Structure 1
């Protein structure tokens, strides 16, 4: 007799219970870790995305990081490949969940929520793909060996965004909780991401200006559900994960999954924590640090940045860095403990929703009292004077500047350059054309750098794929 091995899970025998469906969707969240994966050379997708914006340098050993900063990288950079592959792996799992879960006998409300989570995650990963690579293969069903999507062509950006928006609109109606402290998608996450998508599509390359109003409407729904922290340290400690202003995070826990976020961003080769290596892979430029207004709390020591710290092993001595490193990613628990970091990475938080609302509202009707209220709450926390009496263009640039300073090094600046074609000229404290203005490192952005190259290995394996202009 042939005995069926039920422990050998395949698609045909896996989705048979509510617990299996839940476990499968939970597994999709693990793909979020790809953005924080790091190596001993100081390479990580969250660092690569930030280096493209031009306001950070790298003191580590990574040749690839240096090539990105100086705009001489190429399609064989392994970071480009890992992001592409992992995003599509997550999308494949989301596609399978969306196909199979409707057939599972389970509570209807739970089923609806799981489908909403899968739709949110598929939209999340496609949103990164379409911004990073432009036209990308649009695959919305599981792929088999005889599927036409086994070797797909690239789908125009204008056709990818409607699928992202459709997924998020469906997720918004799926019964998700308003907020969530377990790391799962919530209405707050869905609405903030959708507001970001609308804001992006209102700018380059699509320029659908009607989407400014939609961005404002979605962001407004979020504002009353979250609260700003009273201490910036809560952004990166263990006690406040998934709380307060933190809308959506990638979640870590010692013994389950850990990362190298702090190790990658501490000063290069200086003993400020219990880490085997201090990689210095992303260091803010002094010019960017100096662009904060006088008295801004965020620029004061051990708020968003720090320039010295007690020496690990001998706290009677102080290590002076010679640079302003990112305290907003310094996890005290691991630095003073065993060097194993389980700091959460934040994808979405309340100040972004507030600034989306302010910017989108301004584009629709100019500065309003409500728009001023949102940006001024952020400034008040930073101990800055409130804004008032600005023209529409002055208010627009004030919001852009606030995005740079509040969301600094959170993977927002590069995407802002893409949608505005403007760069923050920190030396002159103004916004200028991205393709004719040198950044503080003397590099002027090439238009090809608005997108990443399609990984060369993908093109080698699929002759239907084409390369982005300039690469």
Structure 2
């Protein structure tokens, strides 16, 4: 039989509104819709699904679509979760927030309280996404589909579930591990925190299945859905995070040395909204502007509080930036030390035109002309080829020390940063064969900071490499801050609302 991949709008009207416990473990359904990026949805899901809603291939297709729409909550949705940058950039030495009214400053200053709304909203977004994936996995087996189509759907939602758990385990450590559909609110109270090792084991299983069942490429209306390469890259990152260095190196080698993905010759073109899902991008959370409720807010969230004239000059319309995620001068200093030939600097940060004395730097990776303040086109890049090259080099270096392949991977990134051909050796910039393990370790840390700034990597890179405490405390000393962090600060608090709702949940050390 042939399965139909529909393109029409389709939504469910379901009957039971969830409660806090339902939100905790994802007793939430979905409504779905299609647009230019067809696996995004229009409506915010708030309903418990009915069994009758899953009767054919169309309903399962829409269930997968709903799972993809969760990615906007992971990485930032206007009116919803501020997204990943709150956890991955603001706590780091790359970024700070000018805004205190939203309590984003608690991430910047390491003064987090467990009732912080951003911790709560990300928890809810995580388990809502997991629930959507579990619903598809529970229901699709009874629907008439070809084996290949069913396994592809399974692979897509298992990839999304793995991504959700990977983000969660890095944020909170031990978390509830839910792998089946929850059909009643009382059932939700049975899930306490499970050891991070168990969560990682499930992530690895999900990604192995996804890797085996997803296509090598996605095209047409499916462009942006998960691929085999996305599963491989994410699995490599999961293994690297667990310090399974040789396994990570083996997993990432084919991507790092293959031809499916490549570094774009021009660094700025990676982020152009006219060049989305280019050859460097392995996976991204997708957004589309046009007053559909599917646009991204990163342009104005990260932009300075411009005057109308300044924002009009930059964006073609007057929008007030909110400075949620502002470039720290310490990152600017790192780029300055890298040299004037580092072409990444021009895209990574700038000052406003006609800056005032107190003007703040901002990143240009998310510049677009929005149709409204929170309706821009910018996708959030989750995985790209430069990330894979640097992860591969790190894994090889930690497993067995520098070798030619590890140095080649890093040198490609360095060459591109100097606007040089990436596959042509250049003695003026390449790391020499005599590079030591420690020297390569230090260089990879720097290159990841400069290459991937404001893409949601810096804080978790520092945690993964056991460098967060020394690097951040040195940063605080350097900048004259009295802040100091310790082991307790490497995880974020479990939302107090969830503990109050489900008392078997426990809090992370250092938080009330």
> Normalising by structure 2, what TM-score?
0.80
Please point out which of 402, 407, 422 is paired with 2:467: 422
The answer to whether the Cα contact below 8 Å between 1:379 and 1:385 also exists between their aligned partners in 2 is yes
Please point out which of 318, 325, 334 is paired with 1:291: 334
**246 and 299 in structure 1: CA distance in 2 versus 1, 3 angstrom threshold:** closer
Q: How many residue pairs were aligned? A: 440
Three-state SS of the structure 2 residue aligned to 1:351 is: helix
Q: How does 1:343-382 map to 2 (within 5 A)?
A: 343-382=378-417
Which runs of no fewer than 5 residues in structure 2 stay unpaired?
A: 1-10, 15-48, 419-427
Residue matched to 2:251: 218
**417 and 27 in structure 1: CA distance in 2 versus 1, 3 angstrom threshold:** same
Three-state SS of the structure 2 residue aligned to 1:327 is: coil
Residue matched to 1:230: 265
The answer to whether the Cα contact below 8 Å between 1:94 and 1:118 also exists between their aligned partners in 2 is yes
Matched, 1:342 2:381: no
Q: How does 1:252-331 map to 2 (within 5 A)?
A: 252-255=287-290, 256=292, 257-270=294-307, 271-272=310-311, 273=315, 274-292=317-335, 293-301=338-346, 303-309=347-353, 318-319=354-355, 322-331=359-368
Deviation at 1:177, TM superposition (A): 2.5
- Determine the C-alpha separation between the residues in 1 that align with 2:12 and 2:506: 41
**23 and 80 in structure 1: CA distance in 2 versus 1, 3 angstrom threshold:** same
- Determine the C-alpha separation between the residues in 2 that align with 1:250 and 1:233: 19
The answer to whether the Cα contact below 8 Å between 1:437 and 1:444 also exists between their aligned partners in 2 is no
Q: Please state which structure has a larger fraction of its residues in strand.
A: 1
1:5-31 per-position Cα deviation (integer Å, ceiling 9, x unaligned): x97664422222222211110110111
Moved more, 65-74 or 365-374: 65-74
- Determine the C-alpha separation between the residues in 2 that align with 1:123 and 1:243: 24
The answer to whether the Cα contact below 8 Å between 2:216 and 2:227 also exists between their aligned partners in 1 is yes
Which runs of no fewer than 5 residues in structure 1 stay unpaired?
A: 1-5, 203-210, 310-317, 425-431
Deviation at 1:459, TM superposition (A): 0.5
Deviation at 1:401, TM superposition (A): 1.2
- Determine the C-alpha separation between the residues in 2 that align with 1:198 and 1:115: 22
Residue matched to 2:286: 251
Matched, 1:392 2:432: no
Q: How does 1:93-112 map to 2 (within 5 A)?
A: 93-112=132-151
**49 and 62 in structure 1: CA distance in 2 versus 1, 3 angstrom threshold:** farther
Residue matched to 1:165: 204
Matched, 1:446 2:486: yes
Please point out which of 224, 236, 241 is paired with 1:195: 236
Deviation at 1:63, TM superposition (A): 4.9
1:41-77 per-position Cα deviation (integer Å, ceiling 9, x unaligned): 9955423431112331222353512222111120011
The answer to whether the Cα contact below 8 Å between 2:84 and 2:456 also exists between their aligned partners in 1 is no
Residue matched to 1:183: 224
The answer to whether the Cα contact below 8 Å between 1:137 and 1:152 also exists between their aligned partners in 2 is yes
- Determine the C-alpha separation between the residues in 1 that align with 2:226 and 2:80: 33
The answer to whether the Cα contact below 8 Å between 2:218 and 2:224 also exists between their aligned partners in 1 is no
- Determine the C-alpha separation between the residues in 2 that align with 1:41 and 1:31: 11
**373 and 259 in structure 1: CA distance in 2 versus 1, 3 angstrom threshold:** same
**462 and 423 in structure 1: CA distance in 2 versus 1, 3 angstrom threshold:** closer
